[in-house]
Structure 1
Amino acid sequence: MTQQPSATKHSGIEDVLGLTTGVVMVSAGLFLLRSGGVVSGGTAGLSLLLSYALPVPFGVLFVAVNLPFFVLAAFGKGWSFTIRSGLSIGAVALLTSVHGQPWALGALQPSPLYAAGMGNVLSGVGLLILFRHKSSLGGFNIVALILQERFGFRAGYVLMVLDTLVVVSSLTVSSPLTVVISAGGAAILNVILALNHRPGRYTGS
């Protein structure tokens, strides 16, 4: 029998650098998605959907939508995870707005196809980094992680089901073609998580 390697605990500086990298990648991905007029899954996708319909900044909606899930996080994942997730959500909300400033990326007009593909790749890899440093972006991420740890359901597949509901809801504000493109992009994100975030695959803690 092959002996499993013992987990190597992340140092404080590794966690800080990892979380920073994760939120930068996710925020850049969400900025691309919003610039292309497409949505994704999770509470980020729900916040994007609401931002198209309401005169409220994405960052404000993103924080508001995630608030109810923090009770679940506190009881299901502990306060360390909850605090890290709260900081990650706040950072993503802020950085998504920063990317759109004239001195940064400014106003972009990517095609919906490119925005959905590249935006979800960036967001998926960023989420993977956050998960591996004991954080998340709240909402569906918390539900998926708890179900994976308690019952063995892969987080990526759980998110895929929940994300489908969000993407289908975007028919209320988007064309059918945009919804199809958004669904393809959300599938890319969840495949990244399903293939790379499995129990026992990563030994860091």
Structure 2
Amino acid sequence: MSQTDTRNEPHRNAPAHSVLEDAFAFVTGTTLCALAMTMLTHLGIITGQTAGLGVLLSYVTGWGFGPVFFVINLPFYLLAWLRMGPRFTVKSFIAVGLLSAIATVLPRFVTFAHLDPLIGALLAGALAGMGLIVLFRHGASLGGVGVLGLYLQDRIGFQAGWTQLLFDAVLFAAAFFVLDAPLVAFSLAGAIVTNLIIGMNHRRDRYIAT
């Protein structure tokens, strides 16, 4: 590789995003995720992580996903502040609030006459993955278990990835008590797509957001 070829090097000197760029990204990312949640709840399936817990609790309680998701994220903001700092925490709070609001309103405008459960789960997984990539690249997240994983990793050395894996294992095991087995299988397929998209596209050696 020549000295001027920096395609595979981290973009450490990239300029920070403007407020307008962040705002547009937040609306875009949360809308994609909200559309994914609309598809999932229409099908009666879930996803992984905190969003999956929010969906499952909405089925059990009868409350909407948006309010449930907003409330269950509240305890994680302190951990985010301690581990990631105020900038990340504020951005994540805004992103969670936007997702909760859009996910509450969107079903009034988007309905599905027919949506195959497997195809719907895969499409929802792809939409959620792309929405999360947009948020990650603008220094935000949708809070939840990822933040807890990083906090535990700092405090006791338990790897963040294992925390997320264990959480999802418990979540999908609990889902069997609420959903039929085929719906849990479709849910798992969609969650795998989400994680594959994030794993292949959110790489620090290719993109560092500010």
Q: Same fold (TM over 0.5)?
A: yes
CA contact (8 A) 2:33 2:128 kept: yes
> Aligned partners of 1:198, 1:147: CA distance in 2, in Å?
22
* Aligned counterpart, 1:76: 83
> Aligned partners of 2:123, 2:197: CA distance in 1, in Å?
12
**Is the counterpart of residue 34 in structure 1 residue 41 in structure 2?**
yes
More displaced 10-residue stretch of structure 1: 89-98 or 105-114: 105-114
- C-alpha distance 124-116 of structure 1, shift in aligned 2 (>3 A): same
* Aligned counterpart, 2:116: 111
CA contact (8 A) 2:79 2:151 kept: no
Give the letter aligned to residue 184 of structure 1.
A
What are the Cα deviations for residues 83-120 of structure 1, in whole angstroms up to 9, with x where unaligned?
1111111111111121111xx11465522212211111
> Aligned partners of 2:40, 2:208: CA distance in 1, in Å?
32
User: 1:159: how far off?
Assistant: 4.2
* Aligned counterpart, 1:180: 185
> Aligned partners of 2:143, 2:43: CA distance in 1, in Å?
24
Return 5+ residue gaps in structure 1 as ranges: none
**Is the counterpart of residue 129 in structure 1 residue 118 in structure 2?**
no
Matched position secondary structure for 2:176 = helix
Superposed, 1:1-205 pairs within 5 Å as 4=9, 5-8=11-14, 9-101=16-108, 104-106=109-111, 110-143=115-148, 159-205=164-210
Of all paired residues, the percent bearing the same amino acid is 32
Return 5+ residue gaps in structure 2 as ranges: none
> Aligned partners of 2:106, 2:200: CA distance in 1, in Å?
29
> Aligned partners of 2:36, 2:151: CA distance in 1, in Å?
25
User: 1:172: how far off?
Assistant: 1.0
What are the Cα deviations for residues 54-86 of structure 1, in whole angstroms up to 9, with x where unaligned?
122211110111111111101001111111111
Flag the structure with larger Rg: 2
Give the TM-score, by structure 2 length: 0.85
- C-alpha distance 137-180 of structure 1, shift in aligned 2 (>3 A): same
User: 1:149: how far off?
Assistant: 9.9
> Aligned partners of 1:191, 1:73: CA distance in 2, in Å?
24
> Aligned partners of 2:54, 2:22: CA distance in 1, in Å?
27
CA contact (8 A) 1:38 1:178 kept: yes
Give the letter aligned to residue 61 of structure 2.
L
User: 1:168: how far off?
Assistant: 2.4
Q: How many residues align?
A: 201
> Aligned partners of 1:147, 1:109: CA distance in 2, in Å?
43
User: 1:144: how far off?
Assistant: 5.2
